[in-house]
Structure 1
Amino acid sequence: MESLIVLGEKEWLACCGSVKFAKEMASAGPFSSYQEAVGAASETWFNKVDVNGWLEAFSAHPQIGESPSKAHKSPTSAQWSKGEQSTALATATDTTLQELYEWNARYRQKFGFVFLIFASGRSTPEILAEMKRRYQNRPIVEFELAAKEQMKITELRLSKLFSANATAASTTNIQYASDVAKVGEDRVSCISGHLGAAKEIPAEKSAETFTRTRPPITTHVLDIARGSPAAGIEVLLETWDNNQSRPLFGQMDSSRNWKLQGSSTTDKDGRSGQLMKMVDNLNPGIYQISFNTGKYNPAGFFPYVSIVFEVRDSQKLEHFHVPLLLSPFSFSTYRGS
């Protein structure tokens, strides 16, 4: 027997700050799956919520780089906003933060609402580049783009609510087939404006339920020389597969000791596809992400770039986002969120 997930107006308001949206969705529920709820949310947001409702939802978000107001009507939404901007704040410098504030003001003066973007996992330079690009849009075009970004944020937050409800329901033997795993990763990794229902999970995965909403290891590449995402870079994820030793500094380790976990190519937003299967517990060990930078930039200094990092047993439930900031003659990385 299929179980139902019941969400009230307060929870829907945390996903999207429109009161009209929250009331419509609370009335439309309950829903039997994440996909069903996303489909109803998209239909409601784009076809039943008016312009005032869109603006109300936009105003529920703090400006990128700023903390939510203490008077925020949804504490849960405020907390989520803080988490969604964590990578941007972690990668900001005094200079880029000041530039972000200035562009926030320019954007708001032109369009009349806060700059809205699906910020999870995006650095301050990425967000600034996107804001400057979208600033050139006509107001009607930008208004629609902002609405699409709001829907992406709503879907991500909804996945968190469904995960939380599934955990609570398990204590009373209420179960549902989780659609969060692949859909969550699709939404986190896809920043381009697109609509529609979430992608289906392959049949063999349909019975699995994951706490995570994306694979435990992800990456993206930013071309800091061009000030834009780096598309078309081949990416490999490998693990050290020798239980008797570990890769040591100064030694040339045999490639036979590295086991391929997955490969992908960065999309137009610089994000790789899924590099490993969805698991809740990441195996401790040594991991290596390699980027075919020589093919991307034949005139550059680096034929390829490899980043080696360790996941300890105490970190197996954590998420590891390992971006590459690249120019023809330098690169850097950091642990994102």
Structure 2
Amino acid sequence: MTNHPHTLDALAAADAADLEAILLEVCSSPRWAAAVAQAKPWSDRESLLAANAAAMAGLAVADLHDAMAGHARIGRPKAGDATSEREQSGLHGAEAALLDELREANAAYEAKFGHVFLICATGRTAATMLAALRERHPNDAATEAEIVRGELRKINDIRLNRLLGES
């Protein structure tokens, strides 16, 4: 993800290709990026976050899969990816046995749903992520897709706030 903050005006003034590239760093769904870009200019941070929420609400299941493709497995942050490592920082210091359980639960989830387990990991420990994974595993595909939609929205909100230089 881009290391330097942007202003809303700079984002709105970016040419289409540059804005698309910036937004795809936030969320890897092309349909999401297009919907957020179409909502510009954003009057303030809240309107950008509202554009995120509206874009997420409009995504089909296939678009959710596009968005999830940009996320590392819980328990396996992408090496060298500062965003992935920061978002999964709650794994640091977790015992090996807990991380093994997380990997096993991830594999069972992926076998059932056909995609990575997605959760807004920011501020969560390995134990709370494992508990959430186990709690969500019995869901049916439609229920899980709506939970994933909500988790993606939260992740995108955090990433958009970071893009604008806010923690």
Shorter-chain-normalised TM-score: which range? 0.7 to 0.9
Letter of the 1:120 counterpart? T
1:122 is matched by which residue type in structure 2?
Answer: R
**Match of residue 40 from structure 1:** 51
Paired residue for 1:118, among 120, 128, 133? 120
How high is the sequence identity, in percent, across the aligned residues? Answer: 32
1:24, distance to aligned residue in structure 2 (A)? 2.4
2:11 corresponds to 1:6: yes
Name the residue aligned to 2:15.
Answer: none
> Which residue in 2 is equivalent to 1:98?
100
Aligned mate of 1:81, from 79, 84, 91:
84
Contact 1:62-1:69 at 8 Å conserved across structures? no
Letter in 1 for 2:25: A
**Aligned position for 1:51:** 61
1:9–1:25 Cα contact (<8 Å) kept: no
Deviation string 1:31-79 (CA, Å, 9 cap, x unpaired) is: 12110011111111212x2221111101110101113277xxxxxxx42
Q: Hey, which of these two has a bigger chunk of helix by percent?
A: 2
Would the aligned equivalents of 2:49 and 2:157 in 1 still touch at CA under 8 Å?
yes
Does structure 2 conserve the Cα–Cα contact (< 8 Å) formed by 1:5 and 1:162? no
Distance 2:160 2:38 in 1: 16
For residues 29 and 121 of structure 1, what CA distance do their matches in structure 2 show?
30
Aligned AA (1:37): L
Between structures 1 and 2, the one with greater strand share: 1
Match of 1:60 among 59, 70, 74: 70
Alpha-carbon distance in structure 1 between the residues aligned to 2:38 and 2:148? 25
Q: Give the greater-gyration-radius structure (CA).
A: 1
Conserved? CA contact 2:20–2:37, under 8 Å: yes
Q: SS of 2:118's equivalent?
A: coil
Contact residue 63 and residue 114 of structure 1 kept, 8 A: yes
Offset from partner CA, 1:254-311 (integer Å, 9 cap, x none):
xxxxxxxxxxxxxxxxxxxxxxxxxxxxxxxxxxxxxxxxxxxxxxxxxxxxxxxxxx
Q: Alpha-carbon deviations, 1:144-180, whole Å to 9, x = none?
A: 10111000000000001112xxxxxxxxxxxxxxxxx
Residues in 2 aligned to 1:9 and 1:25: alpha-carbon distance in whole angstroms: 9
Higher relative contact order (CA 8 A, sep 6+): 2
Secondary structure of 1:65 counterpart: coil
| 1:118–1:150 Cα contact (<8 Å) kept | yes
Q: Please tell me whether the aligned partners of residues 6 and 31 of structure 1 are also in contact (alpha carbons under 8 angstroms).
A: no
Query: In structure 1, what residue type is equivalent to 2:115?
Result: F
Partner residue, 1:151: 153
Unmatched tracts of structure 2, length 5 or more: 1-7, 13-18
Other-structure match for 2:28:
17
Q: Partners of 1:69 and 1:26 in 2: how far apart?
A: 29
**How far apart are residue 5 of structure 1 and its match?**
4.6
Q: Can you list the C-alpha shifts for 1:116-164, whole angstroms capped at 9, x where unaligned?
A: 111111111111111101111112101110111000000000001112x
Partner SS state of residue 11, structure 2: coil
1:296 maps to none
Which amino acid in structure 2 is aligned with residue 65 of structure 1?
G
